[in-house]
Amino acid sequence: MKKKVKTMKMRYPANVLLMAGLTVVSILMIAPLLIMIFTSLKGDSEIANTTGSLLPKEWKFENYLLAMQVGNWAVYFKNSLIVTVLAVGGSLIFNSLSGYTFARVTFKGRDLIFIALLLGLMVPPQVTIIPQFILLKSVPLFGGNDLFGQGGQGWLDSYYALIVPELSGSLGIFLARQFYLGFPREMDEAASIDGSGIFRSYWRIYLPLSGPLLATLGILKTVHVWNDFFHPLIYTNSEAMRTIQLGLQVFHGQYEIKFNLLMAASVVVSLPLCIAFFVFQRHFVQSLIPTSVKG
Amino acid sequence: MISRWNRILPYIMIFPNVAIYFVFIFIPVLWAIYLSFTNYTILNPGGWVGLSNYETLLKDGIFHKAFWNTMVFWVLKVIPTIILGLIVAAMLNAGIRAVALFRGAIYLPGVLSSVAVSMAWLWLLHPRNGPINAIIKMIGIPPQNWLQDPELALPVVIVVSIWTNIGFAMIIYLAGLQGIPTHLYEAASIDGATGLKKFVYITVPMLKPITFFLFITLTIRSFQVFDIVYILTGGGPLNSTTTIVNQIVKTAFEEYNMGYASAQAIVLLLITIIVTMVNYRVGSKRTMD
């Protein structure tokens, strides 16, 4: 009893110290973002003033309207939205379906195919970018190409280039397989007595239980595709195909002097994922933790 | 009839994933290896040039610079990220309140796109009007040309990268810390161990597998660094921040020298394979112990 009182006494000032320390760390971590927001609300003259204060003297919310009028942001948002929704939706269906098949169905060549898929975990996207570029450029009968994939730009500078390569993904298949391996064998037996084929079992029994898997894969893919700069940079060139990340970078190239508008555009581009993060923080955190660490 | 259908059905179910994987990942890797032995450009189908791209690599001063920069970036990013991530996670795990709030704030930079992150730092580091120069001026240090100074640019890029990755390391460590059995700490308390001793002799050794996982993951990410370099410095000044991937992109899509760029990409692939193999070897050793 005496000991317990002592540890409680020890804990109290230590806790206050920890809270203070974490507050400082948190403020340091979000300071660049706060400055980004404050700067986005400052007037032009305040931006040019080297001894300006942290907070805007006059809160210029119209900066956001001005920033959105420079460049076709509606088009960039539409592009990012279309690409993200289709890439995430498609990859969720394909990954969960094949993950289930690899985990719960026995078929010839299964392990060999799965190992070949796992090799993809070792391949940096920058290694495949050149052949992918040539491949996308050579898709026959698209983008002005003839039957032999010559003469035009194929799938380059189209939604296909940004969506189709994202529909697979070794990590997604691997995580899906791990997830479906976690169910007891009796579930398949019950389903087969029931007369369900393997696809019916997936659709009727496993898919409705796949919430945690779909949340993890969905978050990983959404963040990846929405924030992707590398592939849109290489695969698109027209303004009509620009995603928001590329749009933001081009905006910077064109309007470097207007940092308040640049910061406003950066805030707008970041907002959707930041809101999603705060609403679904628990799921975001879960999606980052690999099964080996959880175990 | 039904049994034949059941034999084909699994292949149909995996087909979309497997087909896209083979077309966009598996074949392109083999293709990249082939291209690295050619002088392919986008206009010229190119011919076999044997090892000449690799010979060029050995003599190419800019690629050497890029390789060296990538190594510096790797070491100076991964170690501080891991240490800072562990410290923050240990603080969060000490039984304080409002864990989700702190965790959210510290992870937030990790949710932002590399483009938005770069924009924020371009302003912070702006030589004339940026807040960082304003702050250091107050404490008597002359303003710096952070991203245009060949001595400073790479360290600055590394700091930006650490800032975006601390949250990730913290979250992984937090999960690991929650898996350490509390009776270990209780036993140590009975033996009279203090907080710091417990941290050094229990927490750090128990987290070894997690540290290793983070080390591998952050290593692979470091070798792939591109976005923030491309936006913050473009690889300059005087190639002081260029990286392997920055050189691949420049060679392939600005100079259209795709054969030579593929040889550079193969170097990146080999490094990644070596790191993954080390990971696999250490991982399998651990399960045998």
Which of B269, B281, B289 lies closest to B29 in space, CA to CA? B269
- Which member of A127, A169, A245 has the closest CB to residue B265? A127
In Å, how far are A38, A171, B122, B253 from B132, measured between CA atoms? 15, 39, 11, 34
State the best of A29, A219, A225, A261 to mutate against chain B, taking most chain B CBs within 10 Å.
Answer: A29
Q: Which of residues 57-76 of A touch B (CB under 8 A)?
A: none
Out of A16-20, B20-24, B255-259, B270-274, which region has the weakest mean confidence (pLDDT)?
A: A16-20
Report whether A117 contacts A129 (CB < 8 A): no
Which of B105, B155, B126 lies closest to A31 in space, CA to CA? B105
Are residues B115 and A284, on separate chains, in Cβ contact within 8 Å?
A: no
B276 token code pair: 């993954």
Q: Touching check for A8 and chain B: CB below 8 Å?
A: no
Measured between beta carbons, the chain B residues lying within 8 angstroms of A117 are 17-18, 21
Q: Which of residues 228-287 of A touch B (CB under 8 A)?
A: 229-230, 233-234, 245-246, 248-249, 252, 259, 262-263, 265-266, 269-270, 273-274, 277-278, 281-282, 284-285
- Which member of B14, B25, B103 has the closest CB to residue A102? B14
State the best of A168, A180, A282 to mutate against chain B, taking most chain B CBs within 10 Å.
Answer: A168
A240 token code pair: 């009509």
Measured between beta carbons, the chain A residues lying within 8 angstroms of B11 are 107
Residues of chain A falling short of pLDDT 50: 1-10, 295
Report whether A151 contacts B7 (CB < 8 A): no
B47-52 long-range contacts, CB within 8 A, separation 24+: B49/B259
What is the pLDDT, as a whole number, of residue B286? Answer: 64
Q: What is the DSSP string of A256-288?
A: TT-HHHHHHHHHHHHHHHHHHHHHTHHHHHHHH
Cα angle: A33, vertex A36, A40; to 5 degrees: 145
What is the pLDDT, as a whole number, of residue A10? Answer: 46
Distance from CA of A10 to the nearest CA of B (A): 11
Are residues B27 and A32, on separate chains, in Cβ contact within 8 Å?
A: no
Q: Please report which confidence band the pLDDT of residue B2 belongs to, taking 50, 70 and 90 as the band edges.
A: low
Distance from CA of B284 to the nearest CA of A (A): 13
CATH topology of domain B60-288: MetI-like fold (1.10.3720)
Average pLDDT of the residues of chain B? 91
Domains (range + CATH), chain A: 72-254 (1.10.3720.10)
A81 token code pair: 């939205």
Q: Which of residues 117-146 of A touch B (CB under 8 A)?
A: 117, 119-135, 137
Which of A112, A113, A107, A154 lies closest to A134 in space, CA to CA? A154
In 3-state terms, what secondary structure has residue A237?
A: coil
Across B41-186, where does the E strand assignment appear? none
- Which member of B17, B124, B273 has the closest CB to residue A32? B124
Measured between beta carbons, the chain A residues lying within 8 angstroms of B91 are 18, 21-22, 25
Distance from CA of A22 to the nearest CA of B (A): 7
The residue in chain B having the minimum alpha-carbon distance to the alpha carbon of residue A223 is B111
Measured between beta carbons, the chain B residues lying within 8 angstroms of A226 are 113
Q: Exposed, middle or buried by CB within 10 Å (0-12, 13-18, 19+), for A275?
A: exposed
In 3-state terms, what secondary structure has residue A188?
A: helix
Report whether A86 contacts A159 (CB < 8 A): yes
What is the pLDDT, as a whole number, of residue A8? Answer: 41
Domain ranges of chain B: 60-288
What is the pLDDT, as a whole number, of residue A149? Answer: 79
Distance from CA of A289 to the nearest CA of B (A): 6
What is the pLDDT, as a whole number, of residue A78? Answer: 96
Q: Exposed, middle or buried by CB within 10 Å (0-12, 13-18, 19+), for B278?
A: middle
B92 token code pair: 């969060």
In 3-state terms, what secondary structure has residue B39?
A: coil
Which residues have a Cβ under 8 Å from the Cβ of A75 and sit 6 or more positions away? A239, A240, A242
Report whether A18 contacts B149 (CB < 8 A): no
Residue tagged 């920058």 (tokens): A126
| Mean local confidence (pLDDT), B202-221 | 91
Residue type, B145: N
- Which member of B88, B108, B134 has the closest CB to residue A25? B88
Tens digit of each residue's pLDDT (9 = 90 or more) over B221-250: 999 999 999 999 998 899 999 999 999 999
3-state helix, strand, coil in chain B (%, to 5): 75, 0, 25
Tens digit of each residue's pLDDT (9 = 90 or more) over B142-178: 989 999 999 999 999 999 999 999 999 999 999 999 8
Residue type, B216: I
- Which member of A51, A124, A233 has the closest CB to residue B268? A124
What is the pLDDT, as a whole number, of residue A43? Answer: 86
Are residues B112 and A274, on separate chains, in Cβ contact within 8 Å?
A: yes
What is the pLDDT, as a whole number, of residue A1? Answer: 36
Distance from CA of A49 to the nearest CA of B (A): 7
A248 token code pair: 């933001």
B1 token code pair: 């009839």
In 3-state terms, what secondary structure has residue B38?
A: strand
Number of A:B CB contacts under 8 A? 282
Distance from CA of A32 to the nearest CA of B (A): 6
Bond from prior residue into B237 cis (ω within 30 degrees of 0): yes
Are residues B115 and A248, on separate chains, in Cβ contact within 8 Å?
A: yes
Q: Exposed, middle or buried by CB within 10 Å (0-12, 13-18, 19+), for B192?
A: exposed
ipTM for the complex?
0.91
Are residues B24 and A18, on separate chains, in Cβ contact within 8 Å?
A: no
Q: What is the pTM of this model?
A: 0.91
In this predicted model, which residue has the larger pLDDT, B128 or A233? A233
What is the pLDDT, as a whole number, of residue A3? Answer: 41
Distance from CA of A27 to the nearest CA of B (A): 8
